[in-house]
């Protein structure tokens, strides 16, 4: 299946390149502040004492030249052009953050800042595109790692299917070209999934657990979105310990893992601060009926934007397109339930994949649902490999063994058709 993997990588790279060409600068979520934070670190590394180390004025000027506000039905406020994101006015309230804030975890921004410092200072657009290319490289790694994990969890056909679905997922290529740490966290999530399966099926489970924990903690240190991978790593460690070790050894390993989580939470600001903020966030007072109504809207939006959205969730797919995606999902969910009892290995893969998805969804619900803020579907992409695994297992459960190849082709073709339609119906009219 190596040729299938190579083709999938070429397809993903082609789609990401197309996305970079179509989506104008600064039109991915929070790109201005991500670039500014990287510019701050670049200035620190090069020893620059410029007053505007984050180059906010240059970024705002570029946003004006590229018509950023036109896509949101807004106009520039009267008066002089602002030079800081925290300038007053509704136009900048969407950004409203300080790039030198400790909220932007050093591992990602310092690394990208160092990369930018290797060259001469140029336009902020060039630095933006360099950061987009970095995301593309991590996305390619995500596909490769997802293939390895799928081959271990399923079989050659399953691995080829998952790689193809990931390469053609309508939203994944879009998300993978944004100048943000998302792609790094997505790569860590795919790596965690691969090592989860390896810990159960390979003899070197301690090595797999070590890599798994490294991926989870690194993801949490890079971006708050990665913190949800820590409970996934803990649950996997519990399951592997119970399967591989005796009672005392398992208890010892779990004690070490628990201490490690506490130490990491207390010692790493990138993990500690988001946890403290989420715990102290004020709940929006409401009735049970309001809660249920909002939860429905929250889940529907999360689902639709997981499949496709552009800009700062400004451009979304039409309802009939989302209905087609929902039909594919419903078929897969019902098929997963029907095929759950097929074999012990299938049950384990389904449970592990479902646990990945539920942990991340629970984290999103805790942070976003309780404070009445809508989460974007891209926040579920750290578990996109196990999610697509569930989709394939559920789809193939409807078919006899001799027709699984046809089912794979059909599912991959459905993703490809949805992607092409979204490009024609949404992306082109929005930006071209």
- The tens digit of pLDDT for each residue in 22-73 reads 999 999 988 999 999 999 999 999 988 888 889 988 998 999 889 888 887 7
pLDDT score for 23: 95
| Cα–Cα distance measured from residue 124 to residue 128, given in angstroms and rounded to the nearest whole number | 6
Q: Are 113 and 44 in contact (CB under 8 A)?
A: yes
Instruction: pLDDT band for 173, please (50, 70, 90 cuts).
Output: very high
Position 318 scores a pLDDT of 96
- Read off the pLDDT band of 269 (50, 70, 90): low
Mean pLDDT for 343-357 is 89
Here the tokens at position 191 are 């790596």
Mean per-residue pLDDT of the chain:
88
In this model, does residue 94 exceed pLDDT 50?
Answer: no
pLDDT at residue 89 in the model: 47
**CA distance linking residue 422 with residue 170, whole number of Å:** 7
Q: What is the pLDDT of residue 50?
A: 82
* Average pLDDT over every residue of 198-202: 91
| pLDDT tens per residue, range 114-150 | 999 998 888 999 999 999 999 999 999 999 999 999 9
Whether residue 261 contacts residue 230, with contact meaning beta carbons closer than 8 Å, is answered with yes
The two structure tokens encoding residue 121: 């200072």
Quote the pLDDT of residue 49: 80
- The per-residue pLDDT for range 213-241, each reduced to its tens digit, is 999 999 998 988 898 899 899 889 888 88
Mean pLDDT (whole number) for 172-200: 96
Q: pTM for this one? A: 0.92
pLDDT band at 272 (very low <50, low <70, confident <90, very high): low
Higher pLDDT, 134 or 375: 134
Nearest-angstrom CA–CA distance, 335 and 314: 33
Of 51, 308, 105, 127, whose CA–CA distance to 219 is shortest?
105
Structure tokens given for 11: 């397809």
């Amino acid at each position: 299946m190596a040729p299938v993997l190579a083709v999938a990588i070429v397809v993903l790279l082609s789609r990401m390149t197309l996305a970079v060409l179509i989506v104008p600068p600064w039109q991915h979520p929070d790109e201005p502040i991500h670039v500014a934070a990287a510019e701050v670190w670049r200035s620190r590394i090069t020893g620059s004492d410029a007053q505007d180390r984050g180059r906010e004025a240059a970024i705002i000027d570029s946003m004006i030249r590229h018509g950023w506000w036109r896509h949101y039905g807004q106009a520039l406020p009267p008066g002089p052009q602002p030079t800081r994101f925290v300038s007053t006015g509704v136009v900048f309230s969407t950004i409203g953050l300080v790039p030198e804030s400790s909220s932007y975890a050093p591992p990602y921004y310092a690394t990208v800042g160092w990369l930018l410092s290797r060259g001469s200072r140029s336009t902020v657009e060039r630095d933006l595109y360099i950061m987009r290319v970095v995301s593309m490289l991590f996305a390619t790694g995500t596909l490769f790692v997802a293939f390895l994990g799928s081959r271990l969890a399923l079989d050659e056909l399953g691995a080829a299917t998952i790689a193809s679905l990931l390469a053609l997922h309508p939203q994944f290529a879009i998300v993978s070209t944004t100048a943000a740490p998302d792609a790094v966290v997505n790569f860590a999530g795919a790596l965690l999934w691969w090592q989860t399966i390896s810990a159960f099926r390979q003899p070197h489970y301690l090595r797999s657990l070590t890599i798994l924990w490294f991926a989870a903690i690194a993801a949490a240190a890079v971006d708050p979105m990665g913190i949800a991978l820590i409970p996934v790593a803990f649950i996997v460690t519990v399951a592997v310990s119970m399967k591989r070790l005796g009672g005392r050894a398992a208890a010892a390993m779990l004690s070490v893992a628990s201490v490690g989580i506490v130490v990491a939470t207390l010692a790493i600001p990138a993990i500690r601060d988001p946890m403290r903020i989420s715990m102290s966030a004020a709940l929006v007072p409401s009735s049970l009926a309001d809660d249920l109504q909002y939860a429905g809207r929250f889940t529907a939006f999360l689902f639709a934007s997981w499949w496709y959205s552009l800009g700062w969730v400004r451009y979304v797919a039409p309802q009939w397109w989302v209905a087609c995606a929902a039909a594919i999902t419903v078929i897969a969910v019902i098929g997963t339930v029907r095929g759950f009892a097929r074999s012990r290995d299938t049950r384990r893969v389904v449970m592990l994949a479902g646990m990945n998805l539920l942990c991340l969804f629970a984290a999103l619900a805790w942070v976003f649902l309780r404070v009445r803020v809508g989460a974007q579907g891209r926040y579920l992409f750290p578990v996109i490999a196990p999610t697509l695994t569930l989709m394939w297992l559920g789809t193939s459960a409807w078919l006899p063994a001799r027709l699984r190849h046809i089912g794979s082709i059909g599912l991959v073709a459905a993703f490809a058709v949805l992607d092409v339609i979204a490009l024609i119906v949404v992306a082109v009219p929005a930006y071209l």
